Amino acid sequence: MSDPRDNREVEYPFTFTLRDLLKDYENVTYPVTLVCAGNRRKEQNVVRKTKGFSWGAAGVSTALFTGVVMADVIKKAKPKRKARYVCMEGADKLVRCDLSSEFPFC
């Protein structure tokens, strides 16, 4: 994994802790639809065989999320105009790769 401070797509690269998020940003609660990581089990099994039931894309539910608004955190970094994607990386460590998902930056 690259060092986030090497990122060239933002004016102000920074790192933060959970404590920083709780102290510096407002907590909000929203209903959100969550998708189980097991929905990507087929992709994971290409890298390394995992345990668990392969149910396809059926692991979805809606719940209440409480936390900080990601857009507020991104604003602090001041993305450059050429920034196109935000990459979210999980703490899970696989043998050959880490789990991550990207979404277009709007």
Ordered by start, the domain boundaries in the chain are: 4-80
Which range among 1-15, 17-31, 48-62 has the greatest average pLDDT?
Answer: 17-31
Question: Mean pLDDT across the stretch 54-71?
Answer: 82
Q: What percent of the chain has pLDDT over 70?
A: 73
- CA–CA distances in Å: residue 106 to residues 21, 32, 49, 66: 22, 19, 35, 22
Instruction: Grade residue 13 by pLDDT with cuts at 50, 70 and 90.
Output: confident
Q: For residue 67, what pLDDT is reported?
A: 92
**Residue 18 tokens, joined:** 């959970």
Question: Exposed e or buried b for every residue in 69-87, given b needs 16+ CB within 10 A?
Answer: eeeeeeeebebeeebeebe
Q: What is the mean pLDDT of residues 55-72?
A: 83
Residue 1's pLDDT is: 41
Q: How far is CA 88 from CA 44, 51, 52, 55, 104, in A?
A: 16, 23, 23, 24, 11
- pLDDT category, 59, cuts 50, 70, 90? confident
Answering whether pTM is above 0.75, one says no
pLDDT digit string, tens, across residues 79-92 = 888 888 887 776 66
